[in-house]
Amino acid sequence: MFWRHKDNVILTLSIVELTMTDTAPGDVFVRWQRRGKCGVTTSVKLTTEKYVNFDAAFTMTCNFIGQSGSRWRPKNCDIELYLSASSRMKLHKWSIDLAQIERQDVNVLTLKAKCPPLGDVALVVMIQRGKSASDVSATSRGLSRSRSLSQHSSSPFPRQDSNQNLSQESDVMSEKVNSMTPEGGRNFLKNARNSMNARTQTYSSNSSSIPSLGGGTTLSGAPPKVLRPPVPMAPSRGSSANVGSNCDDDLPGHGLGSLRRRMSEKKVTVPRMPIASFDGPFADQLNDHCQSLFNKDLGWIDGAPEFAKNVLDLYMQQPRGQNFTTPISMIGQSLSQKARANIRSSMYCLYSIVYIFIELKSNGFPVEAPNASLETKMNEIFDIFTTHVFTQFFVMLDNQNSERLNELKEMFEKVNESQTSKYISQLCEFSVAAQLTPAAGKWMINELGLLECDFVDNDIMNVNDNQEMLMNPDDVLPYCHSMLLQTPVPSMED
């Protein structure tokens, strides 16, 4: 099996936040290491606050292909927490598996440990496929393209060279498929003759004299020259191309490009219905709404996000036959990018995408596209928001601090004017409680009255307090994702 550079996966490891229960003199920094490569965040001096924002991103390239090629191989990365840049006192080391992004493009992890100088610490890291959004915008600031990063792909193994000959290969494939019919075959031969004539005329125009058609002499008085079309060169040794075929193999010496072309000739594409173009007033207005996420301070209308209401109203005004598939990617990407800013933005984007998803689905609009899914983005933003909440509140909630719990409760009560928003708020609260210790989690469920919710089983209150967490951490988010699909449909006619 060849080592294929196109099968490499570009990852971005982001060191986001660090929270602690105690403070110690000095400064802290985080270091990561993988197979001899490493990176270090800047040192942050500890103050009276028990919260550190690193906001550091590191890019790495991994090849996860195993012998079978179907499952990703584990790729471990060590993350170390240090105290004091001068003495480099190592407090703790975590080991994470980078291959877990096989299931989703973005994975947010909360690494916990007990460190005597800092007490109970929680380090939030984020692994995403592709490069960070801050580096992607480097080209817009005039930086070189080598420093900028491309958007991540949803394919299992993103090909870095997949966009180079996309239009050319698609045109060739469509021409070959159309040539299977009698009319298409005649058009194919006609185009081939025209192409050959054009090449012959170009070759003739480069000559110093013009040959006559019936012999004799040319305009310059010289004997006529017999011009022949250029003879194709024989394929190089080791190449699988035939004489007269396209010999410019993109992988010389292996013949893989020629093999790929021959295999593509045998494929018969299934005809698909034409998709209407996405332009005009609908595209312009939707683009304005997405830009308003970043340019305006949008609020809430009767417990519903203003952005969601504007998008849904725009959908309801469109005529039949409109392209409703392309906007899915625009809406999902805009909300996902905005959600990474802070806890307030992630909360607004979560409620917005849930409202949009359940309302569009209930009215028969598409929520899936070939390369985008509103449900996937909804789950991704839910993970981002609950991670923000868990990071800022878990230390005090784990100690059953009533004041901190009231702050969390007030944050949700501001938007609980509708049954839909209340359901989302209670589901977020439950996801945080389920990741606490059993004693703290049951205390939080009782204080917030979550036992009345349909998605909370009363047997959870019988969990043994000796367990590490109230629920299995691998089951919390998948369960909450499934419960998001049960969100009551709002009434948006107002």
Among 133-137, 283-287, 400-404, which is the least confidently predicted range? 133-137
Res. 9: pLDDT tops 50: yes
Specify the pLDDT at position 195: 56
* Confidence band for 175, pLDDT divided at 50, 70 and 90: very low
Residue 97 one-letter amino acid:
D
The secondary structure of 231-288 as a DSSP string is: PPPPPPTT--PPTTS----SSTTTTHHHHHHHHHHT--PPP-PPPPP--SHHHHHHHH
Residue 323 one-letter amino acid:
N
**CA dihedral of residues 448, 451, 456, 462 (deg, nearest 10):** 110
Specify the pLDDT at position 261: 52
Res. 378: pLDDT tops 50: yes
CATH code at position 88: 2.60.40.150
Instruction: Provide mean pLDDT across the span 207-225.
Output: 43
Among 41-45, 120-124, 167-171, 452-456, which is the least confidently predicted range? 167-171
| Higher-confidence position of 441 and 233 | 441
Percentage of the chain with pLDDT > 70?
64
Res. 412: pLDDT tops 50: yes
CA dist., res. 356 & res. 484, Å (int): 12
How many domains in the chain? 2
Distances (CA, A) of 21 to 18, 24, 46, 139, 142: 11, 10, 12, 41, 43
Residue 290 one-letter amino acid:
C
In a domain, 50, yes or no: yes
Q: Is 354 exposed, middle or buried (0-12, 13-18, 19+ CB in 10 A)?
A: buried
- Residue 99 is given by DSSP the state G
- Residue 467 is given by DSSP the state S
Q: How far apart are the first and last CA of the chain?
A: 61
Specify the pLDDT at position 94: 92
Res. 383: pLDDT tops 60: yes
CA dist., res. 326 & res. 320, Å (int): 15
Show Cβ contacts of residue 353 under 8 Å, excluding neighbours closer than 6 positions: 308, 331, 332, 335, 374, 377, 378, 381
In a domain, 258, yes or no: no
Specify the pLDDT at position 148: 31
Spell 451-468 as b/e; 16+ CB within 10 A means b.
Answer: eebeebeeebeeeeeeee
| Highest mean pLDDT: which range of 227-231, 253-257, 361-365 | 361-365
Q: Which tokens hold the place of 90?
A: 């190592």
Last residue of some domain: 88, 112, 138? 138
In a domain, 356, yes or no: yes
In a domain, 351, yes or no: yes
Q: Mapping DSSP to helix (H, G, I), strand (E, B) and coil, where does residue 153 land?
A: coil
Res. 243: pLDDT tops 70: no
Specify the pLDDT at position 87: 60
Instruction: Provide mean pLDDT across the span 356-371.
Output: 84
In a domain, 228, yes or no: no
| HSE-up (13 A, CA, CB side) for residue 67 | 0
Last residue of some domain: 122, 138, 154? 138
Specify the pLDDT at position 20: 85
CA 344, chain centre distance (Å): 21
| Higher-confidence position of 268 and 386 | 386
Q: Mapping DSSP to helix (H, G, I), strand (E, B) and coil, where does residue 4 land?
A: coil
CA dist., res. 118 & res. 214, Å (int): 97
pLDDT in tens, 36-50: 788 888 888 887 777
In a domain, 256, yes or no: no
CA dist., res. 24 & res. 312, Å (int): 51
| Higher-confidence position of 349 and 387 | 349
CB atoms within 10 A of CB 143: 12
Specify the pLDDT at position 143: 33
In a domain, 113, yes or no: yes
Instruction: Provide mean pLDDT across the span 29-41.
Output: 86
- The domain in which residue 315 lies consists of 281-484
Q: Which tokens hold the place of 233?
A: 């060169």
Specify the pLDDT at position 350: 92
Name the average pLDDT for the chain: 70
Res. 284: pLDDT tops 50: yes
pLDDT in tens, 65-122: 654 555 677 888 999 998 875 667 888 899 988 887 777 777 788 888 888 778 888 8
| Higher-confidence position of 136 and 464 | 464
* Confidence band for 128, pLDDT divided at 50, 70 and 90: confident
Instruction: Provide mean pLDDT across the span 454-463.
Output: 85
Handedness of CA 85, 87, 93, 98 (dihedral sign): positive
Specify the pLDDT at position 42: 87
Specify the pLDDT at position 76: 86
In a domain, 122, yes or no: yes
Distances (CA, A) of 376 to 204, 303, 482, 485: 58, 24, 11, 11
